[in-house]
Structure 1
């Protein structure tokens, strides 16, 4: 029997402390069709109802075997709060944005952190779900809450075309927008921590080198990450989709406890860049492997991650809703078999 609870092991992993084994977690979305069918907590309702959100999140731990619980399942919570129009999606499609408030540069001046940010119809649901999860399992299981970061939110509020255009032609405009949005991320993240979350995943792929240049990132986004990490009073993970290799070095100094990386990033190379400054989380492919292949392929890829020194074994991004349950369970199997082999 382990001498650590799952919560203790997760916290120690993020702090770089000695462990008995590598945690198997998901710091990104965990909702799948099979888990919805087994719990009766289906999308889209589970994105808008706290009880259903908590039930589906809990299934990621109790049924799928992740050593944590994680909510919400979509990325539109703050975007809708700031005035984006969304479609609620369906059982196998997350909510998505259909219209946005910043059609031109002048509209950015109208964006401000709402006085009732934590009482909005979307944030209040997630806060309540986190509280439910903390009451049910929080004493021993880590509760992780996702928050979209300032670059991701800016791209939603302005539309991706404006976002990219402004970064080139009017960087001060997108910086002004992201500054306001960073303040909202900080307030929301601290609210989630106060309600029982043990860690925050900041999801900000639109700040990555697949979208903007590393120079743009260092000049415009990196200072906002430093501010976020200074002011958010708890464990913090950054998730960045795509190949984040060229920004890993500055990210190591941003103040995050962990960085969640996709399979496009080499674990061993990333560790050589970041050293002991930050822990790495990932990076089994959610689409090429977890969704599309057999459990044996999951075992091979997960074992390779462990051999390369991953600190927390996890999917490289959010799970596709049709991901087979047996493939998720194979992550824990890979970790356990790896531990057994290395203890011989």
Structure 2
């Protein structure tokens, strides 16, 4: 039986209210090969079929113990709806964009009038409805999506995105205005469908790829608009060592920031984001979560908790070949910490 406090604990954490213990979950992708076998729903079909997507997403809660249901499992839903051709991937590889439809004519990038009817947008709303009926009001639902920067880079191409920050910033700014609007409209509809939080994933905006100066000039204004638009909890995940932009992100209005293990000083990170923004993470998805022992996971989880992490989670999307026992070890480590 689900813990009736899971959803309240999650929402209270992100709105600055007291909780009995730190939530343990994932705000990034949760599909694994073992969970595909347990649920009977496997990639690539589970990316494109509502019932299978819901079954696989739910299995991370019912079989692995994560205290939220997070879906979908890729970052191509908005890209596809905006015109990208999508490579479907395979059972252990996520879908990926196979084209950049506005690389040569960025001036033609605009919000389609039929956006909500395109690609898998209706499917994700169906998945939300299915999951809300299955978990009731006790378990939080988290919907992931490409962030404005990542979506723009898919539509115009990564090379163009990065070079235009220097050579054509005004054109890139116009592209980001459109992609932010896409994210905002999609988010509003997701909340109406029943999600509790959305998490934008914007790896290309991180300092490992983009100069923080361009973050401030081009992307921060769109993040601020995104956070001001509509209602609900808005989270962000940025890959790499995001320490240098944590203060900037916290001032945009996100209730939570998901960080990778490359952010090594959690106490310093907490000071940077202040008391109004929750830090989420940051056990290595490709390291200890994938290949570590349960004892090593417990040690890393304790480090996170002692460092002041607000939501205990993998630092990035869970690797498809991660054992279920390692995901459970994350939950058990949190429970042991509070005994």
Return the TM-score normalized by structure 1. 0.96
For 2:6 and 2:116, how far apart are their aligned partners in 1?
29
Aligned twin of 2:123: 125
Aligned twin of 2:74: 74
For 1:136 and 1:116, how far apart are their aligned partners in 2?
30
Aligned twin of 1:145: 143
- Residues 181-330 of structure 1 correspond to what in structure 2 (within 5 A)? 181-265=179-263, 266-330=265-329
Task: Check conservation: 1:209, 1:244, Cα contact below 8 A.
Answer: yes
Shift of 1:38: 0.7
For 1:326 and 1:304, how far apart are their aligned partners in 2?
20
Query: Once the two structures are superposed, what CA deviation does each residue of 1:31-63 show, in whole Å capped at 9, x if it has no partner?
Result: 000000011100001001111000000001001
Shift of 1:4: 5.8
For 1:188 and 1:3, how far apart are their aligned partners in 2?
29
Task: Check conservation: 2:184, 2:229, Cα contact below 8 A.
Answer: yes
Task: Check conservation: 1:92, 1:322, Cα contact below 8 A.
Answer: yes
Residue 3 to residue 101, structure 1, CA distance change in 2 (3 Å): closer
For 2:317 and 2:88, how far apart are their aligned partners in 1?
18
For 1:129 and 1:333, how far apart are their aligned partners in 2?
29
Task: Check conservation: 2:148, 2:202, Cα contact below 8 A.
Answer: yes
Q: Tell me the secondary structure at the aligned position of residue 287 of structure 1.
A: coil
Residue 172 to residue 36, structure 1, CA distance change in 2 (3 Å): same
Task: Check conservation: 1:147, 1:189, Cα contact below 8 A.
Answer: no
Runs of 4+ in 1 over 6 A off after TM superposition: none
Query: Once the two structures are superposed, what CA deviation does each residue of 1:39-91 show, in whole Å capped at 9, x if it has no partner?
Result: 11000010011110000000010011000001000001111111111110000
Shift of 1:173: 1.1
| Alignment coverage as a number of residue pairs | 338
Aligned twin of 1:95: 95
- Aligned-CA RMSD value: 1.4
For 2:177 and 2:221, how far apart are their aligned partners in 1?
10
Shift of 1:303: 0.8
For 2:314 and 2:230, how far apart are their aligned partners in 1?
25
For 2:180 and 2:137, how far apart are their aligned partners in 1?
30
Aligned twin of 1:42: 42
Q: Tell me the secondary structure at the aligned position of residue 190 of structure 1.
A: helix
The correspondence for 2:171, drawn from 168, 173, 183, is: 173
Return the TM-score normalized by structure 2. 0.97
Task: Check conservation: 2:261, 2:315, Cα contact below 8 A.
Answer: yes
Query: Once the two structures are superposed, what CA deviation does each residue of 1:154-190 show, in whole Å capped at 9, x if it has no partner?
Result: 1111111111111111111111101001001000011
Aligned twin of 2:336: 337
For 2:299 and 2:230, how far apart are their aligned partners in 1?
37
For 1:54 and 1:10, how far apart are their aligned partners in 2?
20
Q: Tell me the secondary structure at the aligned position of residue 199 of structure 2.
A: strand
